[in-house]
Amino acid sequence: MFLYPVIEEEVFAIYAHLSARELAVEVKKNEGFREKMAAALLQKCSSAQKEYDLFSSWYGEKIAQKYKEVISEKASSDKKLLGVPYVLDDTICSLAFPAACGSPMLQNYRPPFEAYAVSLLSRAGAFLCGKARVAEFGLGCLEESPLGAVTANPRGKGHIAGSGAAAAVASGAVSFALGVDTTGELREAASYCGIFALKPSYGAISRRGLIGFSPSLEQAGILASRSSDLALVFQEIAVRDPQDATSRETFSFSPQGDQAKIRKIAVPKDWSSVPSLHEEVKKVFADKLEQLTAMGFELDYISLPHFFYAPAAGSLLAAVEAFSSLANYDGVRFGCREEGRHLQEMYTKTRSRGFGKRSSNFIIFGALVSSGKYYDKYFVQAQKLRTLIKRELLACLLEYDCLLTPTVPFTAPLLGRKASDHGGLNFVEASYTMAANLAGLPALSYPVLSEGSLPLGLQFIGRDKGEADLIEIASFLKKENF
């Protein structure tokens, strides 16, 4: 423990009102600002950590010193994100911090390499404050990790944040966060905390250095309080990586400020039949649809018969991939190892102790539905469903500029509830988000904040490589105080 330095209010708020772009400019030209910034960062991160318990590892009291060191090294050259503070989901590798990934399996594990996106951010001058808490291996937002801590929501006392990274952004401690979105985790946490989330097109950001469990669904994405910050960060990290075979050619990305190109918006006509949809979300979303019509957007309610099967198909496919992708946790080369009289016993003990209950169940589920007996009946069917969902969305987006849904059927749940309270492995929280992961399409969660109630999110699913369109409409709506 250390004593929090007393800091004047003016210093405390020194970067809250600055966009990442403005912050980088200040840091570059003003050495005095850097000093104040370092102090403010210490103050802000310390108090956020104390209040919400969001870091799994960070610099602690050394952060101010570290900030000054790192920035003075980089200040000479022209860097777009110079001195802009950010955090990483604990499931993204950096050299500076361990990657426990919310699992006893990797407690104290230090990766010997860093994620490609992290290298790019570092090259752009961004400052990594630490690693943020995730559910075990980043599977969902609802379950507390077997390592214990649950991050509290800065915008809803007594509620969960969904992820440490979302709390870090919402509390104003950092300008943005980089996280992993596999079934919708990033958008979900953004919805709970009232911030923006961008899950890019599959392959836009390298997956090298992401400690994931479902390679075909997962994608690194960005959390931020401003849509313009999403754009700035995306520009820096959406670069082809020759060492990731699923990484795609860098595509042109140039959002034109806050003028929306999107005019025609599709809404799934069955959006309100999702069983776990809360009244409040339903009401706000319906209001927002009316507002959009009033603003002159063309809204159509269209039939998407496969869209709502996405959580079922996606969770099944993710489980099969997890069963295989998490098989490297065997106690032989790294992480947790329990002794056994023979290899089989070592495996059983290591994996029983190393994985939490939810991950274990998920792996077992994946092993079951890919076994000889059920392979065709479940695994192959789920793959077919994935194809249908993808086709359905692509067809819809030929006609419409984007698809609009609530992000999550409910607002941030209370702290202390278990995932099983929300349907366990049924992924009801992913009712709207999973389809974009299955189809590899970009999706943005737009925060709706209102006095006296919990935040929630609107999800815009865009065309392949349509990140700029999504960011433009978000900027436009924000400007209009939507």
Partner 1 sequence: MTQLESVIGLEVHVELHTKTKLFCRCRTDFGAEPNTQVCPVCLGLPGGALPVLNQKALAYAIKASLALNCRIAKEITFDRKNYFYADLPKGYQISQFFQPVGTKGYVEIEVDGKVKKIAIRQLHLEEDTGKLIHLGGILSSPYSRVDFNRAGVPLIEIVTEPDIRSAEEARLFLQKLRDILRYIDISDCKMQEGSLRCDANVSVRPAGSDSLGNKTELKNMNSFRSVYQGIEYEINRQRELVMRGESVLPETRHWDEENEVTRAMRGKLASADYRCFPDPNIPPLKVDSSWVEQLADSIPELPDARLKRFVEDYGLPLRDAQLLTGSRELAEFLDATLAHYRQPKAVSNWIQGELLRLLNLENMGITSCKVKPQDLGRLLEMVDKGVISGKMAKDIWEEMFASGKGPETIVKEKGLVQISDENILGQIVAEVIQENPNSVKDYLGGKKKAIGFLVGQVMKKTKGQANPQLVNKLLREKLTEGS
Interface with partner 1 by CB under 8 A: which residues?
91-93, 99, 101, 106, 109, 111-113, 115, 207-212, 214-216, 242-246, 320-321, 323-324, 326-330, 332-335, 343, 347, 367, 370-372, 375, 379
| Least Cβ distance, residue 301 to partner 1 (angstroms) | 34
Burial 39-77 (b: 16+ CB within 10 A, else e): bbbbbbbbebbeebbbbbbbbeeebbebbbebbeebbee
| Least Cβ distance, residue 325 to partner 1 (angstroms) | 8
| Residue 17 or 333 having the CB closest to partner 1 | 333
Distance of CA 396 to the CA centre of its chain: 25
| Least Cβ distance, residue 250 to partner 1 (angstroms) | 17
CA angle 54, 56, 62 (to 5 degrees): 90
Helix (H) or strand (E) holding 476: helix 467-479
- Contact call for residues 312 and 378 (beta carbons, < 8 A): no
| Least Cβ distance, residue 96 to partner 1 (angstroms) | 15
| Least Cβ distance, residue 436 to partner 1 (angstroms) | 16
Closest CA to 57 of 81, 34, 91, 82: 91
| Residue 401 or 464 having the CB closest to partner 1 | 464
| Least Cβ distance, residue 255 to partner 1 (angstroms) | 28
Phi/psi at 229 (5° precision): -70, -35
- Distance, CA of 279 to CA of 74 (rounded, Å): 50
| Least Cβ distance, residue 86 to partner 1 (angstroms) | 18
Closest CA to 188 of 409, 14, 15, 8: 409
Residue 225 makes CB contacts below 8 A (sequence gap 6+) with 169, 170, 172, 175, 176, 195, 196
| Residue 301 or 375 having the CB closest to partner 1 | 375
- Distance, CA of 476 to CA of 78 (rounded, Å): 29
- Distance, CA of 12 to CA of 14 (rounded, Å): 6
Residue 385 makes CB contacts below 8 A (sequence gap 6+) with 306, 309, 312, 313
Distance of CA 330 to the CA centre of its chain: 27
| Least Cβ distance, residue 309 to partner 1 (angstroms) | 20
| Least Cβ distance, residue 337 to partner 1 (angstroms) | 12
- Distance, CA of 368 to CA of 378 (rounded, Å): 9
| Least Cβ distance, residue 78 to partner 1 (angstroms) | 30
- Distance, CA of 388 to CA of 385 (rounded, Å): 5
| Residue 139 or 454 having the CB closest to partner 1 | 139
Helix (H) or strand (E) holding 447: strand 443-448
| Residue 112 or 148 having the CB closest to partner 1 | 112
| Residue 105 or 161 having the CB closest to partner 1 | 105
- Contact call for residues 187 and 199 (beta carbons, < 8 A): yes
| Least Cβ distance, residue 180 to partner 1 (angstroms) | 10
Residue 33 makes CB contacts below 8 A (sequence gap 6+) with 14, 26, 27
Going along 217-284, which residue ranges are E strands? 219-224, 264-268
- Distance, CA of 150 to CA of 134 (rounded, Å): 8
| Residue 347 or 482 having the CB closest to partner 1 | 347
> Kind of pairing, strands 85-89 and 127-132?
parallel
| Residue 441 or 473 having the CB closest to partner 1 | 441
| Residue 218 or 229 having the CB closest to partner 1 | 218
| Residue 12 or 109 having the CB closest to partner 1 | 109
| Least Cβ distance, residue 355 to partner 1 (angstroms) | 13
| Residue 206 or 227 having the CB closest to partner 1 | 206
- Contact call for residues 155 and 110 (beta carbons, < 8 A): no
| Residue 282 or 337 having the CB closest to partner 1 | 337
